[in-house]
Structure formats: C-alpha cells, structure tokens
Amino acid sequence: MNASPVILWFRQDLRLQDNAALHAALARGGPVIPVYIWDEAGEGDWTAGGATKWWLHHSLVALDASLQTRGSRLIVASGDSGEVLSDLITETGAEAVYWNRRYEPAVIARDKIIKADLIAAKIEAKSFNSALLFEPHTIQNKQGKPFQVFTPYWRHCLTLPMAPAVVIRKGDFPAPAEWPASLEISKLKLLPTIKWDGGFYEAWTPGETGAQAQLKRFIAKAMEAYSDQRNTPGIEGTSRLSPHFHFGEIGPRQVWAAVQALSKDSGVFPPNKGSQTFLSEVGWREFAHHLLFHFPQTPTEPLREDFKKFPWAKDKDGALLRAWQRGQTGYPIVDAGMRELWHTGWMHNRVRMVVASFLVKHLRLPWQHGAEWFWDTLVDADLAQNTLGWQWSAGCGADAAPYFRIFAPVTQGERFDGSGEYVRQWVPEIAKLPDKFLHAPWTAPENVREYAKIGGNYPDPVVDHAQAREAALAAFKSLRGDS
C-alpha cells in the first residue's frame, strides 16, 4: 500500500468500468487524482475536429459527474501534457502517473517522451491497455510482418488469449486531502461557436452511461438481425457505438463480454450469425489500429505507392467539393448521407462507402479531402478507422476495394434504400417523388416533378454517372501503365 497520490491521466478512456489504469491506481493505494489535459499540440497534425470536440465536452461533463458519485472529481487542465503533469506532481506530491495507451503516431511519440521524463524524475509511470483486444505491437504474421489483409489477421487474433474486462470495485475512490486547481470544462471552449450541433443533442448521449444504454438497446433489438440489416441506412440496424468507442466510454472487452453472456446457457459462441458479424466489425476496428500503428504515414499518404501518381480532376473554385460537402450533388443517396453527417455528426457505414466512392471515383477528388471533411464533422472521427475507411474506398489501402468497383449511386440507393425512407428523411425536397424515380429524380417526367413540387429545389447531377465511371477507370488504368 502506498500513501502518496497517484495521478490517473484520462485520455480516450473516458469510463470508470473496465479501466485498467484506474484499477491499478486503486490497487496501488493512496489518493487517486483523475486528470484530463486538453493538449492540442500533442495530437500532432490531427487535433480534434469540431464534432469530436462537441462530444468531448459532454463526455468530460459525464465523467466528472460519475466521479463525483464516487467521492472524487475530474481535474481539468489545458496545455502541454508533460508540463501539466509535472506541475501537478509538484502541487500534489504525487509519486505515480498511470494512463491507458493510445496508438496514434504523434501521441505515441509524445507519450514516450513523457514516460521517459517521469521515470528520470523518479516518478512511477505506468501505461495500460483498455482500448483494444489485441494491441498492434503484439500481432504479426508468420513472416514476422504486420498483417495487411483482414481475414487472416482476424483469424489469427481469434486464436490468441483475450484479457477479460477489468472490474472496478464499488464504493468511493480515495481522494487527496486537498484537490489541485481545475479549469471549468466550458473554459476549454470545445462547443461550436456556429449553430450546428442542434441535431447532435437529439441523436446522442455522450458518456459511459449512454454507451452502456446503447449497447443494451442494440443487443436487445438489433444484434440478431445485424447481418441482414446492417446495410439498410433507413433503419437502426447497427450499434451506433462508434463515438462511444472512440472516446473509450466503452471498451471492446466489455462488448465481447456482453455478447459472451448471451451464450451462457447454450455454450454456443457467438450465439448467432448477427453477433458473429458484429464482433468481426469490432475486429475491423482492431485491424484499423493495427494498420495505423505499422503504417503511420497512411493518414495522408496512400499505402499503395503507385497511387501517389493518380491523375485527380481539377475542381475549379472547389465547386465540386462544396457540392459534395453540402449534399448538393444531385444524387439523392450521396446527398442524404452528407446531410445526415452534417445534422447528426454520424453517417451509416453503407452510405459512408457510397459517398467516399463518389468523391474519389465520380468526382476524382483526392480522398484526403474527404478524410479531412469527415475528420471535422464526424462525432466518431478516429484517425485509425477514418484512414482505413478512406484508403479502402479509394482502393489505395490494405485489403482495399478493387479499383474497378465503382459504386453506382442510383443502384446503391435502390438496393439499400428501396423504400426510400432514408432519402426522404434527409432530402425532403424530393420526398414526394414515387419510389421509382426517387434515386434518379432527373429521370422523372415533367408532370411527375411538378406533382412532387420539386421545382428548382434540387440540383441535377453534378456529373454524369456513365462518363464519370469511364474517366475513373481510365485514370486507374493509367496508374498500371495499361491505358
């Protein structure tokens, strides 16, 4: 047992249950001082975007409230993480700093320096894993190299032992005799200054309690049918856990345990096809972190070297990019997705693939532009998963969609939103069109357009699908030198 305080440095692990660093801090004995440091420079080129900042504000409020129920509180600070920790150590007499690891390249580099500095100053510095089932540095293929294809990666992972979720004991956390000074969370100025976040409040409940409620809802209502319904954006067929995962309000070990609990009686795990597919999507999250760790250049550079020469189109005055960002491309499924994103900070995975393919293949604009827009507008913007998603969609990453797979936006709309529920919700200008024309409004006869009162409210397609497809195929072929 130790009487000196330990600083518990919260980062992207904003929960009390299954928190390995918290568990170790409690086991060490002595007062626990929970701290969050807003350190933009420490994130390198990827400081949080607008939507994730909104989430973070509310998640910190929720974490502080949970800590208060345990006789504790969250100390909030802003600035260089190393300096803030060092000042706190001086102020509180702490002799240890514990935290859970993150895996973004700039953060790894920063944390290594902080750990070395703390150890040099004779402070006990310990880091733990609470974010992943399989940490990237522990996984390699038979040749001792990182995996680049998902199926063998995941098959290999599933042969390995998996640590169970960490149980945090009930009751108060030991508090210091005197709390150090703290900023008010609002002083971090994380909330948007423009009126943008109204829809976020309707869609989300940031924080650990919200995450657990979301998991429960998904397991009770949607998991069994997940394999069939996960591609239908008009229904709530997926877990919507992604922002909770990103901020560590829930961890994959907890999700795994919740699914395992369903197998208690039958002994069959996973209990059904839906849960098996769902857990393999959680596996894609692991794979994304594996790739980012081993290929740290990929947030900005294609993994496939030859892709650097891709002949992108010229976008005069940025008009095409703007049409895409604002959901004004004239392709309803694309526009619905981009508007859902703006309004709620989230977009259904099927539609993410469609809009990403449209940007890269129909508009031939660099995938990095799309990744940046997502970074700023997604509440679940995550460097590993966003990078994987964009490189996959562009066809330049690991285990990527082949270049000749060009999603036809009309067919995608008809196939995955046949009833038009999704498009009608997000593109109300065309809601009165019959299903037959909904995904290609320009094909509707004039009298039908008049009846549906479209008027000049909805644009014609910014590019012709057939021509854009040919141009994209030619551009991809030119990379291989066989044009």
Largest CA distance in the chain: 81
Q: Is 312 a catalytic residue?
A: yes
Q: How many CB atoms lie within 10 A of CB 222?
A: 19
Q: Of the two residues 253 and 352, which places its CB atom closer to ligand FAD in the complex? A: 352
341-377: burial string, b at 16+ Cβ within 10 Å, e else: bbbbbbbbebbbbbbbbbbbbbbbbbbbbbbbbbbeb
Assigned token pair, 314: 């010229």
Looking at 43, 135, 231, 284, which residue is catalytic?
Answer: 284
How near is the Cβ of 327 to ligand FAD at its closest, in Å? 16
According to the annotation, is 242 in a ligand binding site?
yes
How near is the Cβ of 287 to ligand FAD at its closest, in Å? 7
Which residues neighbour 122 within 8 Å (Cβ) at sequence distance 6 or greater?
none
Q: Is 390 a catalytic residue?
A: yes
How near is the Cβ of 231 to ligand FAD at its closest, in Å? 10
The residues that bridge with 96 in the sheet, in sequence order, are: 6, 124
Looking at 9, 390, 392, 426, which residue is catalytic?
Answer: 390
How near is the Cβ of 285 to ligand FAD at its closest, in Å? 4
Q: Of the two residues 47 and 78, which places its CB atom closer to ligand FAD in the complex? A: 47
Looking at 135, 349, 414, 429, which residue is catalytic?
Answer: 349
According to the annotation, is 64 in a ligand binding site?
no
Q: Of the two residues 123 and 359, which places its CB atom closer to ligand FAD in the complex? A: 359
The residues that bridge with 8 in the sheet, in sequence order, are: 34, 98
Instruction: Decide: helix, strand or coil at residue 99.
Output: strand
Q: Of the two residues 110 and 240, which places its CB atom closer to ligand FAD in the complex? A: 240
Q: How far apart are CA 446 and CA 428, in angstroms?
A: 19
How near is the Cβ of 80 to ligand FAD at its closest, in Å? 26
According to the annotation, is 241 in a ligand binding site?
yes
Q: Is 281 a catalytic residue?
A: yes
384, amino acid identity: A
Looking at 367, 373, 375, 392, which residue is catalytic?
Answer: 367
Looking at 312, 421, 442, 470, which residue is catalytic?
Answer: 312
Q: Is 54 a catalytic residue?
A: no
How near is the Cβ of 386 to ligand FAD at its closest, in Å? 3
Q: Of the two residues 241 and 398, which places its CB atom closer to ligand FAD in the complex? A: 241
According to the annotation, is 85 in a ligand binding site?
no
Q: Of the two residues 128 and 247, which places its CB atom closer to ligand FAD in the complex? A: 247
Q: How far apart are CA 444 and CA 46, in angstroms?
A: 44
Q: How far apart are CA 181 and CA 385, in angstroms?
A: 36
According to the annotation, is 483 in a ligand binding site?
no
Helical spans, DSSP H, in 121-236: 150-157, 198-203, 208-221, 226-229
Integer angstrom CA distances of residue 18 from 34, 74, 99, 193, 248: 16, 18, 13, 35, 10
Q: Of the two residues 65 and 408, which places its CB atom closer to ligand FAD in the complex? A: 408
According to the annotation, is 380 in a ligand binding site?
yes
According to the annotation, is 451 in a ligand binding site?
no
List the Cα angle 406/462/482 in 5-degree steps. 40
Q: How far apart are CA 165 and CA 179, in angstroms?
A: 30
Residue numbers of the site for ligand FAD (CB under 6 A)? 230, 238-242, 245-246, 281-282, 284-285, 288, 349, 352-353, 356, 374, 378, 380-382, 385-386, 388-390, 393
Instruction: Decide: helix, strand or coil at residue 37.
Output: strand
Q: How many CB atoms lie within 10 A of CB 111?
A: 21
Q: Of the two residues 23 and 348, which places its CB atom closer to ligand FAD in the complex? A: 348
Instruction: Decide: helix, strand or coil at residue 19.
Output: coil
Sheet of strand 124-128: strand arrangement: 75-78, 32-38, 6-10, 96-100, 124-128
Contact yes or no for 440/465 (Cβ under 8 A): no
Contact yes or no for 222/277 (Cβ under 8 A): no
Integer angstrom CA distances of residue 30 from 25, 33, 378: 8, 10, 39
Which of 398, 389, 401 lies closest to 146 in space, CA to CA? Answer: 398
Q: How large is the angle between the packed helices 409-416 and 349-357, nearest 10 degrees?
A: 170
Of all residues in the shown chain, the one whose CB is closest to ligand FAD is 389
How near is the Cβ of 221 to ligand FAD at its closest, in Å? 12
Q: How many residues are present in the chain?
A: 483
According to the annotation, is 240 in a ligand binding site?
yes
The residues that bridge with 76 in the sheet, in sequence order, are: 36
Assigned token pair, 218: 């998904």
According to the annotation, is 381 in a ligand binding site?
yes
How near is the Cβ of 136 to ligand FAD at its closest, in Å? 14
Binding positions are 226, 238-242, 278, 380-382
Query: Which residues are tagged catalytic?
Result: 281, 284, 312, 349, 367, 390
Binding positions for FAD are 226, 238-242, 278, 380-382
